[in-house]
Structure 1
Amino acid sequence: MLSTALERRKQIDADNTCIQNDLLQLFLEKLKETHKKAISELETQLSYIERDLQATIHGDTETAKGYALPWSNDSLLKDTGDKRKYSDVSNPGQSDDAKENDEMMTKKRRIDERFDDLRELYLDYCGGSRLDTNLDGFSSMLYEVTRFSRFKVLDTMYYTDISAASSIVSSIDFDRDEEYFAIGGVTKDIKVYDFGMMGSGYNPATEENDDSNETTDALHSSPGHEGIRRSIRSFGRHNYRPIVHCPVGVMQCGHKISCLSWNPYIKSQLASSDYEGIVNVWDTSTSQCIRSFEEHKHRAWSVDTCARNPTLLASGSDDSTVKIWSIQSRQSVHTLELRGNVCCAKFSPDNSYHLAVGSADHHASCYDLRFPKTPLIIFRGHRKAVSYVKWINSNEIVSASTDSTLKLWSTDSLDCQRTYSGHRNEKNFAGLSLNGNWLACGSETNTLYVYHKNSTMPVTTYKFPVIDPLTGHELVDEDPPLF
C-alpha cells in the first residue's frame, strides 16, 4: 500500500510538472506573439517616421516647400528700409546667427518637455498606412505648440473701488467689434470699459527678455473669435505702472452678476444673468435696462445671445432648467428640463437650433430646439459637474468640469476626443475661453492655463501676483484667500 501511495504521489508530481510546463509554454508563446506584434507595430511606425523624415529633409511637404525654417539662413532679418523695432537692437552684441540658434535650442527644449504627448499626436496625425498622411497639419500644430512659453502683462485694472472688500469678477465679455468690454461680478454693477484705453500701464523698458515670441502672438495668428486674445493681453509679467481706469458706463443691477453676453449684431445691447435668477437686457449707450425676464426660480448661472438669431437668448439656472427667450416676447419661448442644476448654456455659432448645455449631473449635452424634450446628444465622461461648455466650431465642443479637466467632444461621435489636464478646479467656476485652437481656463491655484486644442498638456501658464490695491505693489503671500 505504501508503494502504491508513493507511485501515486510521483504521478501527481509528474502531472503537476507537465501542467506547469504547458502553462509556461502557453505564456511564453503568447508573450512572444505579443512582442512580435509590438515589434511589427514599431517597425511599421518606424517606416512611417522614416518616410516623413525623408520627405521633410528633401522638402516634399507643403510646409517645407512654402516656408523657411525659422533658423534657416533665408529667414534671417534683411534690411528693408523700415524702422527697426526695439527688440532688434536690444542685444546689439549678439549676431543674427546666435539669435536664431538660441531660438532653435529653445524650441528643442520645449519639444523635449512634452515629447510623450507630441509622439501620440504624431501617431494620430500621421500614423497608419494611409497615403494621405497629414504631415503638414502636424507640422503646423508642432510649430504652434512649441512657439510660445509665457504671457506678457500690458495692463492691470481693478473691478471694484479701492474701499470695496470683495472684488470677485464673474464674467468678462467683449462687444462685437472688440472696442468695449463689460465686467460683472459681486459688486452688483456692470462696468463697461473702452479697450482702446488699456495698455497705458505697461512699461516696455522694464520688460524682461525671455524667448523671442509671446503667447499673445499666438492669438493674433489664430482664426476665429478674438476673445482670448483680448483677455490675455491683461495677463502676464507684472511690469506695469498702477493706473486707475474709469469705466465709460456703469449699470446697477441690484443683484450679484453671474454672466454677461454682448449681442453680436446690436452693438450696444448686453445681456446679464444674476443670483436672483433674473435675465436682463441692457442698452449700454444709455445704461438702461430695456427688458427683464424673471421666470427662473433660483440663481441663473449663465446667459448667451444666439449668433445666428440675435433676438434669442438662452439662460441656465439652479432650478434645473434652460430657458430660451426672445427680446420680442415677455415670456420664455422654450423650457428645457434637466436632472441637475444647469451651469452653462451656449448656442452653436452656426445653427440657431443647436444648444450645448453643461449641468451638475456630470454630463454635457446638445439639444435641438425644434425637439426640446430630449437631448440630441449626451456626452458622458466627466466625474463631476460640468461648469462650462463652449463651441469651437459647429461640430466640436469643449467642456470644463470641477473634476479638474477640460474635454473635447465631437457632435459626430459620443466619445471624448481629448482630455486636457494640469489645472486644478474642484469646486469653483474657474472660467473657460476659446480662440481658434487655443483654450484658456483658470485654476484654483490662482493660475491661468492655456492649452492647444490638439495637445493635452498646457502650453503655458501664468501665476497671478497678489497686488496691493493701494500701492499697486505685489504682496508676498504664498496662499492668498482667493477661493
Structure 2
Amino acid sequence: MSQPMNLKRHNSPNYSSQPKRYRSGEDGIDHIEICQIAPSPDSPALTMDEVHCYKGCSDIISSISFNNSNTQYATGGINKYLMLYDFANSVALNHPEPPRAFWQVYANSKISSVIFSNDSDNLFAGCYDGIVKSFAIESRKKDPIEIASFPGKVWSIDSHVQQPGLLASASHDGTAAIIDRRIFHKMAWVVTRLKMVDSTTCVKFRKPTELCVTCADRSITLYDIRNSKKPILQFTRSRHNKAVSYVSLSGEHIISSGIDSKVCCWSEAGDCVGEYSSHKNNRNFTGLSSTSELIAVGSEDNRVYVYNKKSSVPVCNRFLYSPIPQTFVSSVTFDHTGEYLLAANSAGYITLFRLDSAQSTHPTI
C-alpha cells in the first residue's frame, strides 16, 4: 500500500513525497526527460486592485468556479455548503454591500472541488465522502443526485466544456474516473475508472479528447478519453520533488503545481519550459489558475502570487485579509475574461481583484 502524501486541506491524509520509480519505457509509456529553459525577464508588470473582500464562510474555502457565461460563481469548502454568487453584483464598485450568496445548499460532506456543467444548469461537487454530487441550479432543489462514488475522498472534478454530460474526477483511492451520461440517452452515468499508482489529486480536460491527471507520485499523465486503457504520455518526476496537487491549462501549455513550492510550465511534448517558485506551498492545497499568459497560485503566507509565463519572478503578489494567524490561501481562480481574480483563504474570506497590466519589466508587489 502506498504511503499517504503530505498534502492537507482539513483532516486530509499525509502523503509521501517518495514515489515509486520506473525505468523509462518499461510500461510502454513515454517518460520524457526534461530540461529547464531559462525564463525571460521581459514581462509586463501587473497591478491588482481589490474590489471586494468579504466573509464567505467560517472555514477553509477549497474551491471556486465560474459558470461558462461568466455571470455566476460558486464556492465550496469544509463547512459543507455550496454558495452561489452573482458576479455582476460582485464587481460593481458602487455596490454598498459586500457580495452575498443568492443560493446555498448543504452537501452533507466537506467539499473539495466544485464545477458548473457547461450549460450552467447544474453544479457538481466532489466531496470527502467519496461521492460526486449534482445540484440543480434552475429548480433550486436541495437534494443532490449522486453521480459516482469512490472508496476515498474525491479531491478534484472537471466538466468538459465542449461535451455536455462528460465529467472527470480524481480521488484518494488512486482512481481517476471519466463519468459519462451521453450514453443511453442521458438516463444513466457510465463510470470508466483509471487506476493509478498513488492518490490522484487533480483532473483537467484538455482539447476535445484528452484528460490530464496528476498524482501523489509526482506524475502528470495524459489520456485519450476515446481509448483510456493506456496513457498517451507521462511526464517524468524530475521537476516536482513532492506530490503534484493541481494541473491547469494555459494556451498550448500545461501548468502543474506541487507541495514543493514549485509551479512548472510544460510544452505539449512534455518539456519543462518554465519554473516558478517564489510562493510557499509545503503542506496544503492552495489553488492554481491560469490564463493564456498568467499563472495565479495561492501561498501558505496568505498571499496570492501571479506569474507571467515568460518570467520566473512574480509580476504581483497580494496579501489576503484574515483575522487569525497561520492562514493560507486555499483557492484561486481567474474569471473567463482574465480581468478578475478571486482568491479565498483558510479563514473563509474571499477577495476579488481587478487586474491591470502595464508595460514594465519590474514586478508590482
TM above 0.5 = yes
C-alpha distance in 1 between matches for 2:295 and 2:59: 25
Per the TM alignment, residue 316 of structure 1 is displaced from its structure 2 partner at its CA by 0.4
Task: Give 2:80's aligned residue.
Answer: 188
Equivalent position SS for 1:307 = coil
How far does residue 364 in structure 1 lie from its aligned partner after superposition? 1.0
Aligned pairs for 1:319-330 (under 5 A) are 319-327=173-181, 328=186, 330=188
Query: Counterpart in 2 of 1:342?
Result: 200
Corresponding residue for 2:326?
Answer: 480
The residue matched to 1:251 in structure 2 has which SS? Answer: strand
- Distance apart, 1:201 and its partner CA: 6.6
- Tell me what 2:123 maps to: 270
Q: For residue 196 of structure 1, give the secondary structure of its aligned residue in structure 2.
A: helix
Opposite residue 306 of structure 1, the aligned amino acid is H
Task: Give the match for residue 384 of structure 1.
Answer: 242
User: Retained in 1: the 8 A contact 2:300–2:327?
Assistant: no
Contact 1:250/1:287 (CA < 8 Å) preserved in 2? no
DSSP 3-state at the match of 1:399: strand
User: Does the alignment pair 1:429 with 2:285?
Assistant: yes
**Equivalent residue letter for 1:416:** C
Which residue pairs with 1:408 in the alignment?
Answer: 265
Q: What's the CA shift string for 1:257-299, capped at 9, x where partnerless?
A: 11011122x1222111100111112211223256312331110
Which residues in structure 2 correspond to 1:116-127 (within 5 Å)? 121=40
Change (3 A) 1:153 1:334: same
Q: How far off is 1:346 after superposition? A: 0.6
Aligned residue among 10, 24, 45 for 1:147 = 45
Check conservation: 1:282, 1:291, Cα contact below 8 A: yes
Identity of aligned residues (%): 29
Unaligned stretches of 5+ residues in structure 1 = 1-117, 123-141, 161-165, 204-240, 468-476
Partner in structure 1 of residue 23 of structure 2? none
Cα distance in 2 between the residues matched to 1:197 and 1:245:
7
Which of 290, 297, 300 does residue 154 from structure 2 map onto?
300
**Partner AA of 1:147 in structure 2:** A
Aligned 8 A contact 2:64 2:74 in 1: yes
**Larger strand percent:** 2
Q: Is the 8 A contact 2:256 2:265 kept in 1?
A: yes
Q: CA deviation at 1:302?
A: 0.6
Matched, 1:255 2:255: no
* Conserved 8 A contact 2:45-2:316: no
Question: Normalized against structure 2, the TM-score is what?
Answer: 0.73
Change (3 A) 1:159 1:397: same
Deviation, structure 1 residue 199: 4.1
Q: Does 1:356 align with 2:248?
A: no
Deviation at 1:248, TM superposition (A): 1.4
Query: SS state of the match for residue 198, structure 1?
Result: helix
Q: Which AA in structure 2 matches 1:455?
A: S
Q: SS where residue 53 of structure 2 aligns?
A: coil
**Match in the other structure for 1:159:** 56
Conserved in 2, the CA contact under 8 Å of 1:153 and 1:202? no
The answer to whether structure 1 residue 397 and structure 2 residue 250 are counterparts is no
Pairwise CA distance, 1:329: 5.3
The letter for the 2-side match of 1:367 is Y
Describe the shift of the 1:200–1:121 C-alpha distance in structure 2 as closer, same or farther (beyond 3 A).
closer
**Cα 1:343/1:196, change in 2 over 3 Å:** same
Structure with more relative contact order (C-alpha pairs < 8 Å, separation 6 or more): 2
CA RMSD in angstroms comes to 2.2
Shift of 1:323: 1.1
Aligned length: 286
SS in 2 for 1:170: strand
Corresponding position of 2:89: 197
C-alpha offsets along residues 152-181 of structure 1, whole Å, 9 cap, x if unaligned? 111112112xxxxx4210111111111111
- Separation (CA, whole Å) in 2 of partners of 1:278 and 1:329: 19
Secondary structure at the residue paired with 1:403?
Answer: coil
Matches of 1:331 and 1:146, distance apart in 2:
46
Q: Distance in 1 between matches of 2:81 and 2:276?
A: 34
Q: In the TM superposition, what whole-angstrom CA distance separates every residue of 1:323-374 from its partner, at most 9, and x where no partner exists?
A: 11123354533111100101000101x31x2000111011111111233222
Larger Rg: 1
Question: For residues 385 and 439 of structure 1, what CA distance do their matches in structure 2 show?
Answer: 19
SS of residue matched to 1:451: strand
Change in Cα spacing, 1:329 to 1:456, as seen in structure 2 (3 Å) is farther
Note if contact 2:84-2:103 (Cα within 8 Å) is conserved in structure 1. yes
Gaps of 5+ in 2: 1-36, 329-345, 347-365
What letter is aligned with 2:326? P
Check the 8 A contact 2:45/2:315 in 1, yes or no: no
CA distance in 1, matches of 2:190, 2:173: 15
Normalising to structure 1: TM-score of the pair?
A: 0.56
Match of 2:359 in 1: none
Q: Distance in 2 between matches of 1:199 and 1:154?
A: 7
Residue 65 of structure 2 aligns to a residue in which SS? strand
| Residues 120 and 382 (structure 1), Cα distance of their counterparts in 2 relative to 1, 3 Å cut | closer
Whole-Å Cα distance in 1 between the matches of residues 113 and 212 of structure 2?
A: 16
Q: Secondary structure at the match of 1:178?
A: coil
- Partners of 1:120 and 1:391 in 2: CA distance: 18
Separation in 2, partners of 1:406, 1:459? 15
Q: Which whole-Å CA distance do the structure 1 matches of 2:313 and 2:266 have between them? A: 17
| Distance in 2 of aligned mates of 1:447 and 1:255 | 28
Residue 399 of structure 1 aligns to which amino acid in structure 2? Answer: S
Give the residue type in structure 2 aligned to 1:256: K
Describe the SS at the equivalent of 1:361. coil
The answer to whether the 8 Å contact 1:466/1:480 transfers is no
